[in-house]
């Protein structure tokens, strides 16, 4: 049986995460321009860092109620990060013949995302 409280926690986190994604993506596009999906890149990297930090903190450093993981890691960060958008935008770049930009987007999100999640985990262990 599904726990309604868990659904509400995930839904509330998802609502906030999706709106934060919209705001951050718009801010980055206004700042750096729309010619490259910088917003998606920033969101993927920052989301990777935050999930590394958060999950390391709540599994290794501090005791947190399981509801916090549902709200923040599954709800908020699940809606905030944009892997499906990242792959679609990369395909659009490939289809437009912008192969170098597509490679930069694909490798940038993967490489910087991995670095960010490692740094978040390291910081979580130091706090």
Report DSSP letters for 81-126, one per residue: --HHHHHHHHHHHHHTT-HHHHHHHHHHHHHHHHHHHHHHHHHHHH
| Average pLDDT value for residue range 30-55 | 94
Residue 101 and residue 94: Cα distance in Å, rounded?
A: 8
pLDDT at 83 (0 to 100) = 85
Q: What is the pLDDT of residue 84?
A: 80
Tokens (6 digits) for 33:
């321009």
CA 83 to chain centre: 8
| pLDDT above 90 (res 106) | yes
* pLDDT tens per residue across span 53-99: 999 999 999 999 999 999 999 999 999 998 888 998 999 999 999 99
User: Which tokens in the block code for residue 51?
Assistant: 């999930």
Residue 119 confidence class, pLDDT cut points 50, 70, 90: very high
Number of domains in the chain: 1
Residue 82: predicted pLDDT: 82
- Which domain does 17 fall in, by range? 4-126
Q: How far apart are CA 116 and CA 2, in angstroms?
A: 34
Mean pLDDT of 35-55: 94
């Amino acid at each position: 049986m599904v726990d309604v409280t868990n659904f509400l926690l995930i839904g509330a986190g998802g609502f906030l995460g999706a709106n934060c994604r919209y705001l951050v993506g718009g801010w980055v596009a206004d700042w750096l321009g729309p010619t490259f999906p910088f917003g998606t890149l920033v969101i993927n990297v920052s989301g990777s860092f935050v999930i590394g930090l958060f999950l390391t903190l709540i599994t290794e450093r501090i005791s947190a109620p399981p509801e916090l993981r549902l709200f923040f890691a599954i709800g908020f960060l699940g809606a905030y990060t944009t892997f499906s958008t990242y792959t679609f935008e990369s395909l659009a770049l490939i289809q437009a013949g912008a192969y170098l930009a597509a490679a930069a987007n694909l490798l940038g999100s993967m490489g910087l995302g991995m670095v960010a999640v490692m740094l978040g985990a390291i910081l979580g262990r130091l706090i």
